[in-house]
Amino acid sequence: MSAPAAAPPVHVRGLVRHYGTRTALKGVDLSLGRGVTGLLGRNGAGKTTLLRCLATDLEASAGEVRLFGLDPERAAGRTEIRRRLGYLPQNPDFYPHFTVFGLLDYMAVLKELGSRRDRHDEVRRVLVRTDLYDRRHSRVRRLSGGMRQRLALAAALLGGPELLLLDEPTVGLDPEQRIRFRSLVSELAVHSTVVLSTHQIEDVAALCGRILCLDRGRVIFDGTPGDLVERARGRVWEGAGDPGDGCTSWRLADGRHRVLTPHGTDSPGGGFTAVEPSLEDAYLLYTGMDRGRG
């Protein structure tokens, strides 16, 4: 039943997924070990589809998916994988009439957690970790958006999964909760594999040792945040004046402009000086570059 110890938690080769005539994933290859991996990409890039395939929620149309060395297409493999993973979907859809505690207890039963006492201990543990303990008797439908998001996170944490798939987990969280979330995930990443899809570059910068950029169903970047920033060096400028068309720019609070130029050699003109790129600059440049190429 148990998988070969050496098998990587996530191993994907040539993963293709169609929705009718639309192809959301066009041959994704990746292999993930411990630590946090950030999944970046524009809307519709295929992040959610990839996570759902990893979460055994969707079947691959083609290609090979192995999680802990197990095949999710086989019933036995799927059950074992599901025991070992936690998934926070992009739009968590919970039974509105349950209480917070009741819902997590129910999910814990579905996750095959042991006796009633062990289960309740585990539910209390994840409630404390997501700062929802005081709301444990509230009905789910009475929770605020951010609380619901934390509830979804709590559900994903049940049973201490080895693989944690988080699809935009920080949407709706206030700054304090976001910091809590970051420290929680970085703690978990010591022992498990975390995949984090997000549009919040700060979260990626703060958490991820590895970044995957998806674009139109393909992986266009796979490396460390440092690698990504490195590629942007010399293409980020700040200065007074009008940068003109053809490059991405925005006005800063002090009235000057920050400009991203697609090609390293192009200066937006006099009055602009090259500055240290941020991860966000790099991400924008990288996905923009690809767009320029296509």
Ligand X SMILES: Nc1ncnc2c1ncn2[C@@H]1O[C@H](COP(=O)(O)OP(=O)(O)OP(=O)(O)O)[C@@H](O)[C@H]1O
The minimum distance between CB 19 and ligand X, in angstroms, equals: 3
Binding mask 62-101 for ligand X (x = CB under 6 A): ----------------------------x-----------
- The two tokens of residue 103 are 């819902």
Residues 6+ apart with CB under 8 A from 44: 216
The minimum distance between CB 84 and ligand X, in angstroms, equals: 23
Residues 6+ apart with CB under 8 A from 235: 260, 261, 262, 263, 264, 274, 277, 281, 285
**48 part of the interface to Mg ion, by CB under 5 A:** yes
**90 part of the interface to Mg ion, by CB under 5 A:** yes
* Cα 107 to Cα 13, 14, 26, 102, 104, distances in angstroms: 31, 32, 33, 9, 5
The stretch among 20-28, 110-118, 203-211, 280-288 that binds another protein (CB under 8 A) is 110-118
H-helix or E-strand containing 14? Answer: strand 10-19
By beta-carbon proximity to Mg ion, the closer residue of 122 and 167 is 167
DSSP state of 255: S
CA distance 67 to 64: 10
Binding mask 21-60 for another protein (x = CB under 8 A): ----------------------------------xxx---
Which residues of this protein are in contact with another protein, per CB under 8 A? 55-57, 78-80, 82-83, 85, 87, 89, 92-95, 97, 105-107, 109-112, 155-156
